[in-house]
Chains A and B, each alone.
Chain A
Amino acid sequence: MKSDNKADMKKLALFAFLVLFLAIPQVVHNTYMLKVIINVMLYSIIALSVNLIVGFCGLLDFGRSAFAGLGTYFLAITLTRYGNFPFFLAFFGAGLFSASVGWLLGMLCQKTAFDYLTLITLGVNEIVRVILLNWQSATGGAIGIMGVPSPNLFGFHFDTHRRFFYFAYALLAICYILIRRLTRSHYGRAFEAIRDDAIAASYSAINVPKYKALCFSFASFFTGIAGAAMVSYTNYASPYNFTIDESLIMMQMAILGGLGSLPGCILGAAILIIAPEISRTIYDYRLLVMGILMVILMVFAPNGILGKNGVGERMVDIVRIRRAEK
Chain B
Amino acid sequence: MSRAPALAACVAVVGALGVGEARAYDFEVRARTFGQGYQLPTLHLLGGELWLARRRFTESLSFTVWDLGDLRRDRRRAQPGRPDDGPVIWLSAHLRLDHDYGDWTMGAIDVDGRAIDAIDQVPELAASSLGLELLYGELAIDGLWHRVDLRLGRQLHLDDVDPWSMDGISARIRTPWPVTIEALAGLRVRDGSPLGASAVELDGTTGADCREYVEGPSPGAGTWQIIDRSRVPGDDRLGSDLAYCPQRTALMPMAGVAVEATGAGARARLAYRRTQSRTPGLIGDVDRLDHPDRGLYPDELGQAPAWGVNEELISVGVDGRWRPGGARGVTVAPWARARYSLIDAAVADAGAGVRLERGPHAVEPEVGYARPLLDADSIWSVFVTGASTDLRLGYQLAPRRGRLRARATAWARRYALPDPGAETAPAATSPWVGGGRVRAELAVTPRLRAELDLLGDDGYGGRRLGATATGRWQARRDLALTGRLGGLHVVTDQRASTGGASGVGQLGARWAIDGGLALDAATELSASPRAAAQLRVVVQLEIALEDDR
Q: Is B a genuine binding partner of A?
A: no
